[in-house]
């Protein structure tokens, strides 16, 4: 993907660049539908669909074969959902060349850290993310990606889709 | 009866050599007549008392297995964790064989999948070599490639055993014993920060996973082979464990609704759901409501782990910062 992300300049706008952070969940799908509904009929926007696959340490797996199997499964899942999400956006009015797909396999303490890092690299104006609607207990133990992004993302807007 | 051995592969020691080594440790009258010499530990149920396991050319005489200390599984044997004697230098070791277990961890009403990862524990052992607040040991592969951990034996008790019956009442415990334990606690949080900073999680933080090493006079984290898949926050579960230990310490033990009812405590009427532990809803987290002399700044930390919390600790740095506010600066 050879996108010049510096085009996204809020003050002297050339083209607005929206990042939609997705996974295979329903809330991610809702976030994609929202972006299609809201921005699909306007020119001057490009969208990057970002899927971070957080890879556990190699020691998490019994052996390398199990690890490769896990990664393959995640890649196949990702390819399928990204194609589906791209169709949603194209159907909503985005031209194909304005919808970028980016799948990154990373190791990090949290998905939110990876999304924020990618936003900084791509200089997107807006991060769109679906809210999982997890319980307070789950958030306490496992954390909340959307909450972390709201608190830690800088120099961009954050849209959290219920 | 003739003595004999059953070897699963070629051993670097003959049966009679091993008998001599065992005799030097146990005494010649206690040398087992039959034992296996094992170099492939894949089937850990095959490893019996008195067998000799050869790891990295060192023969280890197998002794008893460990038992689970976890609540609800008390005393269940852990066949893959064995006390053993290094027959070269006669040191006592704990040998953890490979058990690829996938566990459904139940925390309150939540269920999530954990795995036992020998590789993770081996990586942390390397990381914490020389760190006084962790168990020490080495990892080595047996002839089948299993990652075996050979751990230094710690003589001493778990933190949970140490806290009970320290004083005649809570107030005495609070003023005379707790300050020392809080200082230890700060040190142990700092130790967890050390592994977090190196991209590792403990994975099973519990009060009985802190041992007082009586010989060295230091507290050590033990058992870090649990691993789980994280997405939003790698350290959340460790922080939950640290919170539970702090609540336990400040309360001088767990304070449950059931206990308060049994003691016909008037405090029960003052408690509301927000005062309870966020996950274990029968345990009181707002200890100040039970013991009013618990200072605000300390209780404020405890409330981060209560049902009423709107703000959680994301990392150990934040917890250490608040501990610093009450004079705990490890």
In a domain, B208, yes or no: yes
3-state secondary structure of A26: helix
Cα-flanking dihedrals φ and ψ of residue B90, to 5°?
70, 15
Q: Which residues form the domain of B122?
A: 4-152
Say how far apart CA B132 and CA A106 lie, in whole Å: 32
CB of A45 within 8 A of CB of A18? yes
Rounded mean pLDDT, B42-66: 94
Instruction: Give B1-30 pLDDT, tens digit per residue.
Output: 334 455 555 568 899 999 999 999 999 999
Closest approach of A71 to chain B, Cα-based (Å):
14
Exposure string for B313-328, b = 16+ CB within 10 A, e = fewer: bbbbeebbeebeebeb
In CATH, the number for domain A5-161 is 3.40.50.620
Residue B156 CB coordination number (10 Å):
16
pLDDT of residue B323: 98
**What does the pLDDT read at residue B150?**
98
* Structure-token match 């952070």, residue found: A21
Query: Which of B233, B235, B309, B318 should we substitute to test contact with A (largest number of A Cβ atoms within 10 Å)?
Result: B233
pLDDT, tens digit, 9 for 90 and up, residues B270-282: 999 999 999 999 9
- Alpha carbons B132 and A137: distance in angstroms, whole number: 33
Same domain assignment for residues B183 and B283: yes
- Integer Cα distance of B143 and B10 in angstroms: 10
pLDDT at B256: 96
For A145, the closest of B112, B232, B309 (CB atoms) is: B232
Residues B73 and B175 in one domain: no
What would the mean pLDDT of B24-41 be, rounded to a whole number? 95
Whether residues B12 and B112 fall in one domain? yes
CB contact under 8 A, A141 and B199: no
Single residue among B132, B152, B172 that ends a domain in this structure: B152
Beta bridge pairs of residue A32: none
Number of domains chain B is built from? 2
* Phi-psi region at B109: left, alpha or beta (left = phi > 0; alpha = psi -120 to 50): alpha
Tokens at residue A43, please?
A: 């020119």
Q: Is residue B197 part of a domain?
A: yes
* Same-domain status, B113 and B86: yes
| Residue B330 falls inside a structural domain | no
In what order do the strands lie in the sheet containing B58-67? Answer: B4-7, B34-38, B52-55, B58-67, B77-86, B92-96, B147-152, B137-141
Give the nearest chain A residue to B100 (CA atoms).
Answer: A62
Comparing alpha-carbon positions, the chain B residue that sits nearest to A59 is: B119
Q: pLDDT tens, A121-147?
A: 999 999 999 998 788 888 898 889 999
Confidence (pLDDT) at B59: 97
Domain boundaries, chain A: 5-161
Residue A33 has pLDDT above 70, yes or no: yes
Average pLDDT over residues B88-116: 89
Q: Tell me how many residue pairs between chain A and chain B have CB atoms under 8 A apart.
A: 79
Average pLDDT value for residue range A71-99: 96
Residue B63: φ, ψ to 5°: -115, -145
- In the three-class reduction of DSSP (H, G, I as helix; E, B as strand; rest coil), residue A160 is classed as strand
Task: Please check whether residue B275 lies inside any domain of the structure.
Answer: yes
Backbone angles phi, psi at A54, to 5 degrees: -85, 110
Considering only the beta carbons, identify the residue of B110, B117, B230 that sits closest to A137.
B110
Tell me the C-alpha distance between B232 and B189, whole Å: 21
Tokens at A128, concatenated: 């769109």
Mean pLDDT of chain B: 92
Give the other-Cβ count within 10 Å of B290's Cβ.
20
Q: Taking CB atoms and an 8 Å cutoff, what residues of chain B touch A54?
A: 230-231
CB contact under 8 A, A142 and B229: no
Instruction: Judge whether B215 lies within some domain.
Output: yes
| pLDDT higher than threshold 70 for residue B119 | yes
Q: Are residues B32 and B93 in the same domain?
A: yes
Distance, CA of A21 to CA of A51 (rounded, Å): 6
> At B164, is the secondary structure helix, strand, or coil?
coil
Return all residues near B91 (Cβ < 8 A) that are at least 6 apart: B85, B152, B153
**Do B55 and B173 share a structural domain?**
no
Residue B291's pLDDT band (cuts 50, 70, 90): very high
DSSP B45: G
CATH of the domain at B39: 3.30.200.20
Residue B79 included in any domain: yes
Q: ipTM surpassing 0.90, yes or no?
A: no
* pLDDT value, residue B243: 98
Q: How close B272 gets to chain A, by Cα (Å)?
A: 17
In a domain, B223, yes or no: yes
Per-residue DSSP letter, B153: P
Which of A111, A141, A148 has the CB atom closest to B110's CB atom? A141
Say whether both B100 and B31 belong to one domain: yes
- The closest alpha carbon to B196, from B128, B244, B129, B148, belongs to B128
Give CA–CA dist A103/A79, Å, rounded.
9
pLDDT tens track for B206-250: 999 999 999 999 999 999 999 999 888 999 999 999 999 999 999
Label residue B111 by pLDDT band (50, 70, 90): confident
Q: Are residues B165 and B227 in the same domain?
A: yes
CATH of the domain at B276: 1.10.510.10
DSSP-derived 3-state class of residue B273: helix
**Is residue B314 within 8 Å of residue B233, measured between CB atoms?**
yes
What's the mean pLDDT in B110-131? 94
> B187 near B328, Cβ under 8 Å?
no
Query: Which of B125, B224, B232 best probes binding to A when mutated, by most A CB atoms within 10 angstroms?
Result: B232
Q: State the residue for tokens 């403990």.
A: B202
B140 and B111 inside one domain: yes
Instruction: Quickly tell me which residue has 């809201």 as its tokens.
Output: A38
Contact, B93 vs B60, CB < 8 A? yes
- Asked if A157 and A126 touch (Cβ cutoff 8 Å), the reply is yes
pLDDT in tens, B127-174: 999 999 999 999 999 999 999 999 999 999 999 888 876 778 999 999
On the question of pLDDT at B93 being above 60, the answer is yes
CA B310/CA B255 separation, integer angstroms: 22
A60, A136, A142: residue with CB nearest B232: A142
Q: Given B152, B177, B196, which residue is the final one in a domain? A: B152
Chain A residues with beta carbon closer than 8 angstroms to that of B99: none
């Amino acid at each position: 993907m050879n996108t010049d992300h510096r085009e996204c300049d809020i003050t002297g706008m050339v083209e607005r660049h929206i990042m939609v952070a997705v996974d295979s969940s329903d809330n991610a799908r809702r976030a994609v539908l929202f972006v299609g509904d809201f921005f699909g009929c306007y020119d001057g926007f490009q969208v990057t669909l970002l899927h971070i696959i957080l890879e556990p340490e190699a020691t998490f797996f019994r052996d390398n074969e199990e690890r490769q199997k896990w990664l393959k499964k995640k890649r196949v899942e990702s390819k399928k959902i990204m194609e589906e999400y791209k169709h949603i956006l194209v159907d909503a009015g985005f031209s194909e060349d304005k919808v970028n797909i980016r799948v990154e396999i990373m190791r990090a303490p949290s998905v939110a850290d990876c999304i924020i890092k990618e936003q900084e690299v791509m200089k997107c104006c807006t991060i769109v993310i679906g809210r999982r609607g997890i319980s307070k207990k789950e958030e306490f133990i496992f954390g909340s990606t959307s909450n972390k992004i709201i608190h830690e993302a800088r120099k961009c807007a954050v849209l959290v889709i219920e | 009866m003739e003595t004999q051995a059953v070897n699963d592969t070629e051993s670097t020691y003959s049966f009679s050599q091993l008998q001599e080594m065992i005799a030097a440790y146990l005494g010649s009258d206690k040398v087992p007549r039959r034992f296996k010499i094992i170099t492939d530990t894949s089937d850990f149920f095959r490893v019996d008392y008195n067998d000799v396991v050869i790891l990295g050319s060192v023969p280890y005489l197998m002794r008893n297995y460990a038992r689970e200390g976890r609540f609800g599984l008390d005393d269940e044997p852990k066949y893959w964790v064995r006390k053993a004697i290094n027959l070269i230098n006669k040191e006592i070791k704990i040998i953890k064989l490979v058990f690829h277990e996938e566990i459904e961890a139940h925390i309150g009403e939540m269920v999530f999948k954990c795995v036992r990862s020998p590789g993770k524990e081996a990586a942390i052992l390397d990381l914490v070599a020389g760190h006084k607040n962790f168990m020490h040991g080495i990892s080595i592969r047996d002839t089948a490639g299993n990652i075996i951990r050979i751990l230094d034996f710690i003589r001493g008790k778990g933190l949970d055993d140490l806290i009970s019956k320290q004083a005649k009442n809570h107030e005495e415990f609070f003023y005379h014993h707790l300050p020392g334990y809080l200082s230890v606690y700060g040190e142990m949080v700092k130790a967890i920060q050390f592994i977090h900073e190196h991209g590792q999680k403990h994975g099973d933080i519990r009060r009985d996973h802190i041992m007082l090493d009586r010989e060295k006079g230091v507290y050590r984290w033990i058992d870090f082979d649990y691993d789980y898949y994280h997405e939003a926050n790698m350290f959340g579960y460790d922080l939950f464990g640290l919170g539970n230990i702090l609540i336990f310490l400040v309360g001088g033990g767990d304070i449950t609704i059931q206990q308060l009812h049994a003691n016909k405590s008037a405090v029960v009427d003052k408690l509301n759901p927000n005062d309870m532990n966020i996950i274990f809803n029968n345990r009181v987290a707002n200890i100040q409501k039970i013991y009013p002399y618990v200072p605000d700044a300390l209780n404020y930390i405890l409330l981060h782990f209560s049902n009423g919390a709107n703000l959680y600790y994301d990392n150990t740095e934040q917890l250490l910062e608040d501990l610093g506010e009450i004079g705990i600066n490890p």
